[in-house]
Chain A
Amino acid sequence: MKQRVTKVLGLLLAGVMTLGMLTACGGKNGDTEGGKDTSSASKETVKIGVLVADVSGEEAQGFRSYYEKYIASNYNVEFTYTDALESAEDEKSAIEKFASQGCKAIISLSGSDRAQQIETCEQYGVYYAVASGVLEDEQFETYKGYEYFVGQVGPSNATEFEAGKAMGEFFKNQGTKTVAIYGAFIPNPMHVYRLAGTIVGLGDTYGGTDDMNGIIGQIFQDQTLDLSKVEGDTEVVAYLQGYGDTTTDELNAAIQKSPEAFLSVGMATTFFTQSLNEAGIAFSDIDSFTQANGDAIENGKLTYLAGKYSSSIGPVFALVMNAVNGNVIRDDEGNAVSISQGYLVATDKATFDEYYVSDNGDSPIYDKATLDSIIGDNVTYADVKALVESK
């Protein structure tokens, strides 16, 4: 009896092993499943960690959808996202976790402490890139020579300032005399630069100056916008920043002051659209081209939107993929890549649709064919720069 059982078990095991071998031999190099690039079947899936501070915003969700749905289905990559990171410590431990999970690269959309992010990635030998933003100029100078710092593709600080300035000028030119301002997440550098630009665009000075660096320095020091320092053509009747338990009260207070317009340097369309529509106050934002923002422009009071499109983070992915595949692209001086992206502006539904429809779902602006032109062993800095600047 015992011998028979052993024989049967042996036969079963042999059968299973034979089937296993047949299955393993069944695949062919170069097979394509649903458009997914598996040309190098022997290559394992590239794991990329993504650091995010915002998990709820329209822009953040658009970025995520592009990576997880479009890129992941067209390339042999797997994206792992963090929860909403609230501090530099959170960012550091997320990078350590990604490294232990075998991530080859990290793309950062979180800006609590990018210097520490670069240092940590360098320590763990993981490639690192900044998407949809850039480091402070001084920081970039410090870290541009780091081995694992691949680079940054996003609006430069000067571009952020100009985006804010253009928004302020739009309302000033319309004859707006009183505004409320939402500073989003000051002291996030991106928001500081936009805010400084907005003040200048409105025809105002801050602490007696309208110089970009002069205003930036003061806002970083104040960690907020001190309304007593604002003087000039347009009166800023209320200011609020951040998002938390007291935000609704602060927004209500701002609405009670009856501003002619509500200018936001980021995420107002995520949090305040309904309240501002209800209050009948024209508002603006520097955000992204999403369906909800389209509705707000068409049916609500959103009158000015400077935005990025969801696939604008495509070139950063290309840089990272090249690095993982052995082609770490460097600029002409041999440093990490830094390329600036501009904003698109819509003040009506027709213009909005023009941008939104061209970057949607299965046909993003940075589609597979476009990205393939900058992913490869022979791709250079000039190729990437030329493509980004052409979009």
Chain B
Amino acid sequence: MSTAGTAKKIVGTFIIPVIVFLILEGLCLSKGEHIITNAKSFDNFIVYVAIVMITTIALSINLNSGRFDFSLGSMAALSAIIGAKISYAIFGGGKGSALCMLLVTIVAGLLLGLISGSIYVLLKIPPIITSLGVTLIYEGVMYTITDGKYLMTEVQNSSMAGFVGTWIYAAIIIVLVLVLTIVLFDHTRFGFDYNALKSGQKVSVNTGIKEVKNALICYTICGGLMGLVGFFNAARNTTINGGQLNFGSIAIMFTAFLPMFIGSYISRYSNEKVGFLLAAICMSMLNSTFAVFSNEITASMQSIINAVLLVVFLIYLNNEHLLRKIFTK
């Protein structure tokens, strides 16, 4: 590859995070602070990157293949509840609780994902409808297990606090998830089939690719990833809301829309998963800036700002060719 080509890739990959950093750091400096104010805020920063990146990857796996999955949030919450209940029953909140919950939550997530995928495959109705049904079922199960209460005793212990009390564990999980997903989706037979199906479903099926098997694996991986998200959310919030009925759990996945579009843009210049990581870093910088301005910008205003940014970015993506024409005249 030419030097110019490499330079273009590097610039294309990092331009959004750099611009976001400069703008947000400038805003924070105007208040005499920085995006990262102290060690605690750095811990929060990395944990948030992990949550957003993993949710974004999970959302994109099925969405890239035209399967909109509303059940991601309910999978995260239900798997976390299962993990919390089992780990508390074994360790009673003592040493090893967090590791046990992490493992059980991932396994529960994988199973829930597989069930969700199986329902889609068996019913053969549009995935958006299937996922709505699955969401209601999972939320109902959550409500039954918890009596609609917040789960607190099971997740409030020093083991769980220790997990999100440092950036190290979150960073390790970020690296592991990145490596695993890159290997799975870019360097295995499953990944090649997935990419082929994504590009041309009918042709791929005609060439012998087993679409059903591929879809089931996708749903299962999504479930496992959302299990991880459920674990992080439980550790970070120190509660799990068991009373999320009537699609209350969907909000968990909405944090991933803006980073998914940003990541997709960055993926023109680098690996898609790396794009999602950089997009998650951008979102985390925004979240940390909101923390600096928390007395001026309320939580509801933050939601509005996030929504406006999403719309602005979509407008840009849809009119990119027009903008290019204007600026190259």
Contacts and interface: CB of A to CB of B under 8 A. Distances in A.
A225 to B, nearest CB: 10
Interface in A157-197: none
A382 interface: no
Contact of B290 (A240, A253, A271): A253
A56 interface: yes
- Chain A, interface SS category: helix
Interface in A63-89: 83-84
B161 A248 contact: no
A253 B291 contact: yes
Interface string A227-252: 10000000001111000111111101
A351 B38 CA distance: 37
B156 interface: yes
Contacts of B37: 256
A83 B148 contact: yes
A256 B156 contact: no
B238 A84 contact: no
Contacts of A258: 38
Given A84-B243, A239-B295, A255-B40, A249 B152 contact: no
Contacts, number: 72
Contact of B150 (A56, A257, A279): A56
Given A55-B149, A270-B152, A250 B294 contact: yes
B302 A55 contact: no
B59 to A, nearest CB: 17
A244 B161 CA distance: 20
Contacts of A277: 161
B299 A256 contact: no
Given A253-B294, A279-B40, A246 B152 contact: no
A278 interface: yes
B287 interface: yes
A290 to B, nearest CB: 12
Nearest 4 pairs of A and B residues by beta carbon:
A253-B291, A253-B294, A246-B299, A56-B150
10 contacts: A56-B152, A237-B295, A238-B295, A249-B302, A252-B41, A253-B294, A271-B238, A274-B160, A275-B238, A278-B165
Interface of B: 37-38, 40-41, 44, 147-150, 152, 156-157, 160-161, 165, 236-239, 243, 251, 287, 290-292, 294-295, 298-299, 302-303
